[in-house]
Copies of this chain bind each other. A is one copy, B any other.
Amino acid sequence: MALVIYNSLSRQKEVFTPIQPGRVHMYVCGPTVYHDAHLGHAKTYINFDTVVRYLRYRGYRVLYVQNITDVGHMLDSGEDRILKGSQREQMQPMQLTEYYTRRYLEDMDRLNVLRPDIQPRASGHITEMISWIQRLIEAGYAYEVNGSVYFSVAKDEDYGKLSGRQLEDSLSGTRVDVLDEKRDPADFALWKNAAPEHILHWPSPWGEGFPGWHIECTVMSTKYLGQPFDIHGGGVENKFPHHESEISQAESASGVPFANYWMHNGMLFIRGEEMHKSLGNFITLKQAFERWDPMMLRFFMLLSHYRGPIDFTEESIGAATRGLERLTNLWYSLIQRLPSAPEGEVDPEIAKLVETTTASVIASMDDDFNTPGAIAALFDMTREMNAIMADRDPSAGSLELVRTFMAGFMEDAIGLQLPSEDSGAGADKAGALVELLLETRRELRSAKQWALADEIRDKLTALGIELRDSPDGTTWKYV
């Protein structure tokens, strides 16, 4: 079976063939660190983290680069996001970006998003950007005016090949006074002359200034991954003009392709609407974590295909919560049954079940990282395992087979951290204390001290620990 990726460039699914066999060089546009990350960031970075994880699960050596935009990201109004944030927070720009970079990484850690192998900061690559811009000027694709440098879109016949969009849409994002100096309104800035109030600026052949947003990603991706590299990912909202411009900058003067596969993930909506501060539906991850478990949020994102949009509603969140609970309940059952499970052969029905589930999740994921398909297969397996365990007491080897598969696929391939084995079993301090209480309760019951035994049960329930008595003894779990 071959891994297939939907390539936004060809607008079709293609068999994935990396440049170097067994290795993948991959880039994803990182955040502009002027504000806390929000639920939309969670979708993007969980989507691409799952791509990286699954590629590694399939045996590829992945070099994953994701940048930090800490300079030069213009708002539609022409304002600089970093500058605006640093005025808002009364911090130096680099102090602001340090602060929000740290908070972004904390959020990603909680979502179990692996850190990229290289996380270049835009402000750290000014020299390389200047060199690149100089090459574009020499090749006739860019021109200088009043200390700023613009890319001449009309010069690049291929401009628009990714997004199918061109001139008419690229007018937003520029101030009127800037428009005047461009040869063509569609041209975009490679280097901007620094206005006097601009704090972040560097010397260049064109005077003091700072780089445009698009050039940052072209330079940082190719510096660490070479040109061409395998996969470029990012949010669909950045396809135009950001990704389109990245391609032009990279390919026009060099004639060398930029990235072989372009992957775009769909947007996150809140009750059907785009998230906007003005709509009052803006949810930062710090806020989200106060209310929802990070693993549930990750599971929620994986319940939809990465290319599609996702709608964040009470209902869809509720469905995700219940879905993840079904899987973790199976996990708890396995690790609680394991210590007392009988010896013996592997149950053939369970062996078959794990085999077909494994094939099924791989088939889904190989088909353009179809996580909802893979999760559906996990649900099927859960239902069948629950039926088997209600019917008989499978051998330890059989249970271990399911447990190993779940840990391997869910944790490694799609990044869903399962509850620690301790939390249900008793290896940690709280677990050991619960076991000690259960033992005391057993002895009280043997001594017919029913009232005291029931009191222990009730108080454990009050602490969120649920007991289940059976002829084989008592099991417990956190609820």
Which A residues lie at the B interface, using CB under 8 A?
63, 92, 94-95, 98-99, 102, 115-121, 123-128, 130-131, 202-203, 224, 429-430, 432-434, 436-437, 439-440, 443-444, 447, 449, 452, 455-456, 459-460, 463-464
Contacts and interface: CB of A to CB of B under 8 A. Distances in A.
A436 B452 contact: no
23 contacts: A63-B92, A94-B118, A94-B120, A94-B224, A95-B117, A95-B118, A95-B224, A98-B118, A102-B115, A124-B124, A126-B126, A127-B130, A128-B202, A429-B463, A430-B430, A432-B463, A436-B437, A436-B460, A436-B463, A439-B459, A440-B452, A443-B455, A444-B452
A105 B92 CA distance: 22
Nearest to A444: B452
A362 B439 CA distance: 52
Contacts of A443: 452, 455
B437 A433 contact: yes
Nearest to A116: B98
Most buried by B among A127, A437, A444, A460: A127
A437 B125 CA distance: 60
A120 B92 CA distance: 13
Contacts of A429: 430, 463-464
B118 A92 contact: yes
Most buried by B among A99, A224, A432: A432
Nearest to A97: B118
A449 B98 CA distance: 61
Given A92-B63, A98-B119, A121-B121, A456 B440 contact: yes
A95 B463 CA distance: 46
Nearest to A123: B124
Contacts of A123: 124
A434 B459 CA distance: 12
A200 B447 CA distance: 75
B436 A456 contact: yes
B95 A63 contact: yes
Nearest to A433: B433
A22 to B, nearest CB: 15
Contact of A436 (B115, B125, B447, B459): B459
Most buried by B among A95, A115, A121: A95
Nearest 7 Cβ contacts at the A-B interface = A124-B124, A433-B433, A430-B430, A429-B430, A126-B127, A94-B118, A95-B117
Given A94-B224, A126-B126, A430-B430, 19 more contacts: A63-B95, A94-B118, A94-B120, A95-B118, A98-B115, A121-B124, A123-B124, A124-B125, A127-B202, A127-B203, A128-B202, A429-B464, A433-B433, A433-B434, A436-B456, A436-B460, A439-B459, A440-B440, A440-B456
Contacts of A430: 429-430, 433
Contacts of A452: 440, 443-444, 447
Contact of A117 (B98, B433, B460): B98
Contacts of A463: 429, 432-433, 436
Nearest to A463: B432
A139 B121 CA distance: 32
Contacts of A432: 463
Contacts of A119: 98
A97 to B, nearest CB: 9
A92 B115 CA distance: 16
Contacts of A455: 440, 443
A239 to B, nearest CB: 27
A94 B440 CA distance: 57
A437 B94 CA distance: 52
Nearest to A102: B115
Nearest to A134: B203
B92 A224 contact: yes
A332 to B, nearest CB: 16
